[in-house]
Amino acid sequence: METVSTNRAFGGTQGVYKHASTETGTEMTFSVFVPDHAAGATLPVVWYLSGLTCTHANVTEKGEYRRLCAELGLIFVAPDTSPRGPDLKGNIVADDPDAAYDFGLGAGFYVDAAQQPFAPHYRMWSYVTEELPALVAAHFPADMDRQSIMGHSMGGHGALTIGLTHAGRFRAVSAFAPIVAPGQVPWGRKALTGYLGEDRAAWRQHDAVALIEDGARVPDLLVDQGGADPFLEQQLRPELLDAACTAAGQKLTLRIQPGYDHSYYFISTFMDDHLRWHAERLG
């Protein structure tokens, strides 16, 4: 692991790091904020998964989480959203006629691709759930028995599906404007077809609404959604999650925030609420 940069902030250290990933076969960059702590002490870990077109840098620079993470004693980890490299299919330049913001580069959708040519590198599920946690555990004062996960948009989809699948690992799961039912919306249908193929049974493992319908449960969920989000009606569909949770008896706090959009102005406004909610459950 190589240190790219470190900066002091709010009585802690914000670092950016990179390493050669065995899962993606590429170099991967991620950020970690570590509050000051007593020698030998470990701290609970909050994972944050970012959305389409993002890297680790979006939440690191605009998420406004450090002050409260320092106060609450939370390590905050932000991975990238896809493998990157000039020779990878999907990592195409902006003027390429095949370029798309919602598939390929910056749009890994937190799945392990089964379709060629993406399968060798687009393994973001295994990277986020296995490889990166092992790296964090080895290099940071992380209490891996106290983990939680949150995310935004595509990353909200990732947080919900990973949290529901690994319910015993994560003590809290929350999301900002998540894609709750990718199998029923254009963003998700495009990504799941491209990465996983036409088998919709495979899609259900990466669809929060489908997972809940199929019996996955966590103690409770927190979701914030901007009422003025331009993607609300076509791509995000929080009412589908609400209906699935109601039918299944899955506890959900769904808050529609009037006037807020899809941006980090929205996320940073409610970041404190989510961090306090996670901290209560992390102990």
pLDDT tens per residue, range 132-171: 999 999 999 999 999 999 999 999 999 999 999 999 999 9
The question of whether 229 is a catalytic residue gets the answer: yes
Residue 42, judged by CB atoms within 10 A of its CB (0-12, 13-18, 19+), counts as: middle
CB atoms under 10 Å from CB of 101, counted, come to: 12
The per-residue pLDDT for 90 is: 57
β-pair type (221-226, 252-257): parallel
Q: CB of 45 within 8 A of CB of 142? A: yes
On the question of pLDDT at 67 being above 80, the answer is yes
Contacts of 136 (CB under 8 A, 6+ apart): 32, 45, 75, 77, 142, 144
Please state the length of the chain: 283
Q: pLDDT category, 38, cuts 50, 70, 90? A: confident
Mean pLDDT of 46-69: 98
Tell me which of 260 and 87 has the higher pLDDT.
Answer: 260
Question: Residue 80 sits in which domain range?
Answer: 2-282
The per-residue pLDDT for 89 is: 61
Please give the Cα distance from 73 to 255 (Å, whole number).
Answer: 26
**93-106 tens-digit pLDDT:** 334 545 688 998 89
Looking up residue 272, the CATH number of its domain turns out to be 3.40.50.1820
- Looking at every residue in the chain, the average pLDDT score rounds to 95
Mean pLDDT of 44-48: 98
CB atoms under 10 Å from CB of 96, counted, come to: 9
Q: Which of 153, 157, 207, 278 is catalytic?
A: 153
Percent of the chain at pLDDT exceeding 70: 95
Residue 239, judged by CB atoms within 10 A of its CB (0-12, 13-18, 19+), counts as: middle
Tell me which of 59 and 91 has the higher pLDDT.
Answer: 59
Please give the Cα distance from 212 to 161 (Å, whole number).
Answer: 9
On the question of pLDDT at 82 being above 90, the answer is yes
**181-203 tens-digit pLDDT:** 999 999 999 999 999 999 999 99
The question of whether 262 is a catalytic residue gets the answer: yes
On the question of pLDDT at 247 being above 90, the answer is yes
Q: pLDDT category, 87, cuts 50, 70, 90? A: low
User: How many domains is the chain built from?
Assistant: 1
- How many angstroms separate the Cα of 229 from the Cα of each of 65, 225, 251? 22, 8, 24
The per-residue pLDDT for 86 is: 66
Q: Which of 56, 206, 262, 278 is catalytic?
A: 262
CA 190-193-194 angle, to 5 degrees, is: 80
Residue 184, judged by CB atoms within 10 A of its CB (0-12, 13-18, 19+), counts as: middle
Q: Which of 80, 224, 229, 274 is catalytic?
A: 229
**14-29 tens-digit pLDDT:** 999 999 999 999 999 9
The per-residue pLDDT for 100 is: 80
Mean pLDDT of 115-124: 93
Q: Which of 185, 207, 204, 158 is nearest to 51 (CA)?
A: 158
